[in-house]
Copies of this chain bind each other. A is one copy, B any other.
């Protein structure tokens, strides 16, 4: 037992993989035998820490072990635009394969543990292991599919529907990771949600109270409890 821990365990601040909350969805675990040497073990980051600056050379993917990340770009007017949230099990950096640089800034939303997966080594692994190849293709393709759905959300939906879709998608993502609870703890602030959804803080807040008045959910700070899942889905369309 101790020896297993030793091989899988990483630097300080990290936890053994056996206790990782992600379980079967963790890419490193899925491909444990072949990937273990490609992965630097987990590294710890503090809340609001910048992990990567936009436009710096792309060398490795980051996989969220615990905590959460946001990615954002800064517009010419120096405003921040969030284009993604990443929860445990999510991989960041797929869009950098073509550009060779990170296209966004990557920042932690709370204290966070990240696994690192080197691009070059992953590529050579792909040539020797069809499972890895298929997995990476699937990840890329899923990313595209998700972005398509997100675009649909933006281009068609009103503020209430956008927020409902956002909350429901968080619920689904947690569910995929084995957390079937209707309780959701938001990793991000209202400002981050508003920014991401292309709305203002006030509109997000107003729609949250609106959803509470309909008794669809209960929001208390960063905690959200879904009372009527069906009704929430109904609003998402």
A positions within 8 Å CB-CB of B: 73, 75-77, 81, 83-84, 94-99, 103-104, 126-127, 130, 133, 137-145, 147-148, 150-152, 154-156, 196-198, 237
> Distance in Å from the Cβ of A76 to the closest Cβ of chain B?
6
Contact A83 B140 (CB under 8 A): no
Number of copies of this chain that the complex holds: 2
Neighbour of A83 across the interface among B73, B94, B138, B152, CB < 8 A: B152
B198 touches A148 (CB 8 A): no
Contact with A151, one of B98, B127, B143, B150 (Cβ below 8 angstroms): B150
A237 contacts across to B, CB distance below 8 A: 75-77
Chain B neighbourhood of A138, CB < 8 A: 97-98
CB distance B155 to A98 under 8 Å? no
The smallest beta-carbon distance between A55 and chain B, in angstroms, is 13
A144–B145 CB distance below 8 A: no
Instruction: Knowing A155-B197, A156-B81 are in contact, say whether A143-B144 is a contact too (CB < 8 A).
Output: yes
Chain B residues near A197 (CB, 8 Å)? 155
Q: A144 to B137: give the CA distance in the assembly, Å.
A: 12
Decide if B198 touches A141 in the complex (CB within 8 Å).
no
Contact B141 A95 (CB under 8 A): yes
CA distance in complex: A33, B73 (Å):
40
Whether B151 and A83, one on each chain, are in contact in the complex, defined by CB atoms closer than 8 angstroms, is yes
Nearest-CB distance from A123 to chain B (Å)?
8
Residues from chain B with a CB closer than 8 A to the CB of A143 are 144
Give A130 Cβ to nearest chain B Cβ, in Å. 8
Q: Please tell me if the beta carbons of B73 and A155 are within 8 angstroms of each other in the complex.
A: no
A94 to B98, CA, bound (A): 15
Chain B's closest residue to A196 (CB) is B155
**Contact, CB under 8 Å: A152 / B73:** yes
What B residues does A145 contact at CB under 8 A? 95, 98-99, 103
Contact among B94, B139, B141, B152 with A94 in the assembled complex (CB-CB below 8 Å):
B141
Cα A184 to Cα B147 with chains together (Å) = 27
- Do the beta carbons of A97 and B196 come within 8 Å of each other? no
Contact A198 B154, CB 8 Å, known A75-B237, A76-B237, A140-B137: yes
Of A99, A139, A147, A237, chain B has the most CB atoms within 10 Å of the CB of A147
Q: Which residues of B contact A97 (CB under 8 A)?
A: 137-138, 140-141
